[in-house]
Amino acid sequence: MTTAADSSASLEDLRARVSAVMPGVAADLARLVAIPSCAFPGFPAEPVLEMAEETVALLRRSGLPNARLLEVAGGYPVVYADRPAPPGTPTVLLYAHYDVQPAPPEQGWTIDPWNPVVREGRLYGRGAADDKSGIAMHAATLQALGDGVAIGLRVVIEGEEETESHLEAFALANPELFNADVYVIADGGNEQVGEPVIEVTTRGGVVLDIEVSTLERPVHSGLFGGGAPDALMALMRLLATLHDDAGDVAVAGLAGSEWRGGDTDEELFRRASGMLPGQPLVGTGRLSSRLWSRPAISVIGLDAAPTHGAVNALAPRAKATVSMRIPPGADADRECQLLTEHLLAAAPWGVSVDVKPTAGWPGWSTSPDGPAVTTARAAMADVYGKPTEVIGSGGSIPLLTTLAEINPAAEFVLWGAEDGAQANIHSANESVDLQELERAALAQTVFLHRLGAGVSSG
Ligand SMILES: [Zn+2]
């Protein structure tokens, strides 16, 4: 029930409430991080199921007594809870995932990934950021809000985000469980701690196999080289036409535009990408455009003779797998068609080229000016004390497309406590900054409170 006191709660009231629940939430997070919930094939199921049960218990303690596990065919269960919307109020779905990446010693861990420790305000351990911090963020928000906010809630904590997910099929088969006006995805974060950003686009992609055939069989490179075409050389010349000398994509007609939101930090990008010292970036124009709103092409597979034991022979056939990232809003079929036409037209020396598309998916976007996103940006700006920049992501999150299919009118808020500079997700010594987690939880609490109660800022 919404009370008068609740609907007039100020930012400072909410700050006090979140800060009161944070010690307990941080302790819960540390306990969850100690559970090695790797859902990849070959890893034991018990810890994954234990993690699912612990997440249910945490949501129940956080004010959602109907939290439960829902079986997902072929995969790990999803943790689910809901609270119906009072008439005329929006429903918000809070998403995070409880599975984690493995933490093999080869990654260079200097601490035990399953025995979390706090150092200089950061909690270290596998999953501390990705994405058990998302679960902690939702728990803190629910505890701080209590039941005094007039919105409907659904909470979905997935168990297979890092591995082959069965959740999309489950969601499409059970749309009534996933329908919401606003989807809040807590599996991201600011580039740097304390610098608020909100993600409004992801790129889509196209993958295709390219095979060049020139000869019936391998033949002697001394006797025939110079006259007979080497398929690998032909394939490399063909692949080389995909970029210009500056490293920009050189396929005519592809969709792409200049990024209109915030910039990405070049130094951070350099460090995060592991580029070698002295290696310049490729491409031209704003880095944010190159990463978020223009296409990018990479060779992700190549079948060729290995150098070990190489013999003097011309390759009769050569094959590459090419991945092209496409901007949000671009049609994957059209972009794939343009890339295919380019490859067929650019084949050198009259060689025979076979192009087979193997995958294609659209990007995703939510309006940076939609009412819920605007409310979220303002909540974040108030909490962090600076404007919230709008950024994109070069990667893809297939679930977003599925959710947008379930409710095409829905808005999305993508944020979290996984800072890009130090969180080291998917890598050694993963960590989350506990102050950043508190700010993220507070921003989410203020956001939901304003959605429900129309609290004025400040
Ligand atoms: Zn994640």
Give per-residue pLDDT as tens, 436-452.
999 999 999 999 999 98
Task: Tell me which residue has tokens 């920049």.
Answer: 389
CA 401 from centroid of its chain's CA atoms? 12
Answer yes or no: are the C-beta atoms of 377 and 186 closer than 8 Å.
Answer: no
Amino acid at 102: P
| Average of per-residue pLDDT across 228-236 | 97
CA of 167 to the centre of ligand 1 (A): 14
State the architecture of 204-262+289-361 in CATH terms.
Answer: 2-Layer Sandwich (3.30)
Indicate if 266 belongs to the active site: no
**Separation of alpha carbons 444 and 18, rounded Å:** 10
Alpha-carbon distance of 99 to 37, in angstroms, equals 5
pLDDT value at position 7?
A: 52
Percent of the chain with pLDDT over 90: 90
Contact 209, 215 (CB under 8 A): no
Instruction: Indicate the burial class of 248 (C-beta count within 10 angstroms; 0-12, 13-18, 19 or more).
Output: middle
Mean pLDDT value across residues 50-62? 98
303 tagged catalytic = no
What is the whole-number distance in angstroms between the Cα of residue 262 and the centre of ligand 1? 23
For residue 441 the two structure tokens come to 């939880």
Of the pLDDT bands very low, low, confident and very high (cuts 50, 70, 90), residue 147 is: confident
* DSSP designation for 192: S
Q: Above 70 in pLDDT, residue 237? A: yes
Burial state string for 312-327 with b = 16 or more CB within 10 A and e = fewer than 16: ebbbbbbbbbbbbbbb
Which entry of 161, 230, 433, 438 is annotated as an active-site residue? 161
The distance in angstroms from the start CA to the end CA of the chain is: 23
Contact 292, 392 (CB under 8 A): yes
Q: Which CATH number fits domain 4-202+364-453: 3.40.50.720, 1.10.10.10, 3.40.630.10, 3.40.50.300?
A: 3.40.630.10
Q: pLDDT at position 24, please?
A: 98
Pull the structure tokens for residue 317.
């056939």
DSSP state of 268: H
How many degrees, rounded to 5, is the angle at CA 39 between CA 38 and CA 40? 95
Reply yes or no on whether the pLDDT at 353 is more than 80.
yes
Burial of 438 (0-12, 13-18, 19+ CB in 10 A): buried
Give the number of C-alpha atoms closer than 13 A to the C-alpha of residue 206, restricted to the C-beta side.
Answer: 25
d(CA 85, CA 182): 13
pLDDT-based confidence at residue 397 (cuts at 50, 70, 90): confident
Range with lowest mean pLDDT among 55-69, 91-105, 241-255, 389-403:
389-403
With residue 122 as reference, give the H or E element that holds it.
strand 122-124
CA of 418 to the centre of ligand 1 (A): 9
Q: Name the residue ranges covered by the structural domains of the chain.
A: 4-202+364-453, 204-262+289-361
Distance CA 367, CA 97 (A): 24
- How many Å lie between the centroid of ligand 1 and the Cα of residue 242? 32
pTM above 0.75, yes or no: yes
CA of 340 to the centre of ligand 1 (A): 33
> Beta strands 219-220 and 122-124: pairing type?
unpaired
